[in-house]
Structures are given as C-alpha cells and as structure tokens.
Chain A
Amino acid sequence: MTPALELRDVGKNFTMHLQGGMQLAVVAGVTFSVRAGECVVLAGPSGAGKSSILKMIFGNYRCDQGQILIRDGASNFDIAGATPRQMLTLRNTSIGYVSQFLRAVPRVPTIDVVAEPLIVCGEPREAAQAKAAAMLHRLNIRDALLQLPPATFSGGEQQRVNIARGFLPDLPVLLLDEPTASLDADNRAVVEDLIKEKKQHGTAIVAVVHDENVRDAIADRVIEVAQFAAAA
C-alpha cells in the first residue's frame, strides 16, 4: 500500500545573511513514510528540527533538498516543488496543521476562527459554525467565549481553539506540533481521543509530542530526529 505521506532524503539549511551569511544546517537525509491511519511521532531534544520538518511538509518552510510526496489520487505529488497556488490547494484539501501557537486575527470571533477551514471548502456557514461549536464544546471551551476573539484567552484556551480548528476538517494528512503542551489532564485526554478517532478514520498523522504519556497513547511509531542531524 502506498503511504499517504513520504519524505525522501529531505534536508534543510538556513543561510543567515544578517549574520554574515552563516549557514545553519537543521536536518539532512530525513526519510520516513506514514500510512493512512498511522500516527508517527517525531522525537528528539529541542532544536533537533522536529518543527522544521512539520513546517516543510506544510510549506511554511521551503524544502531545499529531497522530496516530500503526498498521495494525490493515483499518483504522488511532490510538495518540495509546489507552486504557491498548489500549496494553498493542498492545505484546503489534504494537509491539516495544528501549530504550536495560535495566530489570532484581531476581531474575528472564536467560532469563526474554528469554522473557517470548512467554509473555505464550501460548507455553508451555519453548518460549519454548528460543527465548530460542537468541537469547541468537546474541548471544554465555554459557550460564553465562542463569540469573542481568542486573542485575550489563556494559553491553554488558545491552544484548544487551535486544536479545534485543525481537527475539524477531514483531511488525509494531519500535522500536530505539541498539541497538548499547555493542557490539563482532562483536555489532554480529549485530544488523545480525537487523535484516535482521526486514525480510525484513516488520517495519516505526524506529531511532535514531548510528553511521554501522550506519546505512548497515540504513537504507532516513534522516529528519532537526532538520526537526521545535519553535519554542521
């Protein structure tokens, strides 16, 4: 069975022009694949390049070396060569991403922040908002907060808004960057359940999780990112 997502020999360097052209090598030779319904956890110390790998898959960072193949119908599509329009299409149709921090837009109510990915894909506003409300409710966000912009929420509340937004659409690939880092035990359990449901639904998941209990609960495989350390 072809994997839903496959990285082949992916590498990333940053050239810091403001520091005299210093070369910062992040990772090299990153090779792994994820099947539908599988959760792969990237492990390793801070700075090992775990988030950078997620960002390359989502197109936030350019992929300088190697290929990032995502299943596209019967063939594979290489994200490393995607045009901006193709990348935006992929984000709507194929790749979800829960970032470490919520980037809040001023004045937009929480319910619309969460419903937006569905509306972009053509779901009617009311239906999208109803699903968003149900998801937020599940993540224990109080009803009173739904009409407020999340900018003033606590860290844990913002993270749950971010999780709701990322988990709401049904996309074949889901990237999670420390989704449980600032959550209490109850909410952590909710997120573990959500991940299990996604897996049963056939979503391929790549997650960065430090918490060992969460990792044990969700991971089918753990990949040590240290093995991809770039020769500096």
Chain B
Amino acid sequence: MNIAAREPQPLLIAEGLGKSFGRQVACRDVSFELHEGEVMAVVGESGSGKSTLLRLLSLQAEADAGRVLYRMRDGITRDLATLGEAELRFLARTDWGFVHQDPALGLRMAVSGGANVGERLMAVGWRHYGDIRQVATDWLARVEIDTARIDDRPATYSGGMRQRLQIARNLVTQPRLVLMDEPTGGLDVSVQARLLDLLRNLVAVLKLSAVIVTHDLAVARLLSHRIMVMKGGEVIESGLTDQVLDDPREPYTQLLVSSILQP
C-alpha cells in the first residue's frame, strides 16, 4: 500500500492569498491544498476573514497577493489569473458550485424551482426540454423536495427547501469543487440536521471536493476531513478535523472548542 508514496495532484491550491480593505486586513498569507474528494472546513468567528477567503477562491473578489491554482478537467493545473473571461465563466457554470448562506443570492426567485435547476444545464448546452425537466425532477427528489412543487417559485418555499434547491442547482452540472458559505446558517436545528445529512451523502456519493465556511464546529465535525481555523485574517491552526477539535493547540482554538454547548 505504501502510504507515504500516494500523493496525487491537488485539485485546488491557494498560495499566499492576501486581501485588505483599506487598512483593514481581511486575509493574510493563506495557503492550502485541496485534493479530490476532500472536504475542508474553514472555521472562525465573524470577521476572521473566512468569507473573504471564499470570495478570493471563487474570484468574486480580487486578491492583493498570492494566487489560486486549479486542476482543469484536462488534468493541467493552471493559475486562475491567467484564464480568460470565457474560460472562467465556463468553470463557474459547470465545474464549480457556490452555495450562499442566503439562498436568495444563489437562486433566481422569480422563476420556478425546476427552472432554477434547469438553467444551469441550459448554460452548458442542454436544449431538450423534456430531458432538462426530467433531470430537474430527479434532482428535486434527491434533495427531498416534493416534485409536485417543481413549477412553484422558490419564493413560496420554506427556508430549508430553498437551501436544498440551491444545492440542487449547484450540483446538477456535476461540479468537482463546491464552495459553501455557512450553508446551514439561519436554519432551524431540525432543518439543519436534514440538510447536513443530505450534504454528507451527496459529498460522499459524488466524491466532491468542498470548502465549507462555518462558525459551527458541529457542522465542521460532521462534514469535513480537515479543518482550518482563522483569526484576524490568518490561519492559526489546521489539521485533521477530529485532531483539531479533540486536541486543539492554539489558545483561540481551545476557546472555540470549549465554548460549545453540549446538549
């Protein structure tokens, strides 16, 4: 088996990422590698820079320093800064997903639930209405949305349903990388549990790579293999998820772990 020898190419590499807003440092010198099928949680309190990091990775914001490398479907790892507009758009529509905390930001609220899923398929060239509707129906079922609601607008959905719809919309094109910003934030606990179970299964079955930003350590424990703890824009501790949570080393991580209520 030889454990030491087995190291394939990472899917995503961040090198020395930095971003400031005026004098406020949001991210400083963040580096990591993410492999295929790996889920990494980024934890830290509000203002620690974790959401900024996600925006830098997804090129929604421009980094002041550092670069992001991504292994394309042809197997060649490229610096995202060197990609053209069309290539980036194609990546964003097919190979990547982005799940916002507020589903309204990731959905089009004025069109039906089915159209929200179908749109991503049309963006990658699907044209046959029957096929698109069939796949959209399958995906609604997979995220446990009653398929009778396919023609209803997401404005009529509950918060948990909207979040599941956003996930279906993202995953329908079979992306390899999904970035999630507090995917369970603002949901009731029972709704959260259902969503977490769903995400956990989808990630495993589809062998997705994911970066999940969350302030909820229980979410990180359940979903992630690795964890990165951020404070003041910097990564202060990282490692295997249960190691960081069971044996936290840094004062701030110890504070985070000891502050959880255990029901």
A residues lining the B interface (CB < 8 Å): 14-18, 55, 59-62, 72-73, 75, 77, 82, 84-90, 93-94, 105-108
Contacts and interface: CB of A to CB of B under 8 A. Distances in A.
**Mostly helix, strand, loop or mixed at chain A's interface?**
mixed
A77 B6 CA distance: 13
Contacts of A84: 225-226, 239-240, 243
Interface residues on B, range: 20 to 34
Residue of B35, B193, B247 contacting most chain A CB atoms (<10 Å): B247
Given A61-B246, A75-B2, 10 more contacts: A17-B250, A17-B255, A18-B258, A59-B240, A60-B247, A72-B4, A73-B2, A84-B243, A106-B193, A107-B197
Contact of B254 (A18, A59, A86): A18
Contact of A62 (B7, B222, B249): B249
A86 B197 contact: no
Contact of B3 (A16, A17, A90, A105): A90
A224 B185 CA distance: 48
B4 A17 contact: no
A75 B239 CA distance: 25
B38 interface: yes
Nearest to A149: B197
Nearest to A15: B249
A59 B254 CA distance: 18
Interface in B227-263: 239-240, 242-243, 246-247, 249-251, 254-255, 258
A90 B1 CA distance: 10
A62 B237 CA distance: 13
B237 to A, nearest CB: 11
A16 B249 CA distance: 9
B194 interface: yes
Question: Nearest 4 A-B pairs (CB), nearest first?
Answer: A17-B251, A84-B240, A106-B193, A107-B197
Contacts of A59: 240, 242-243
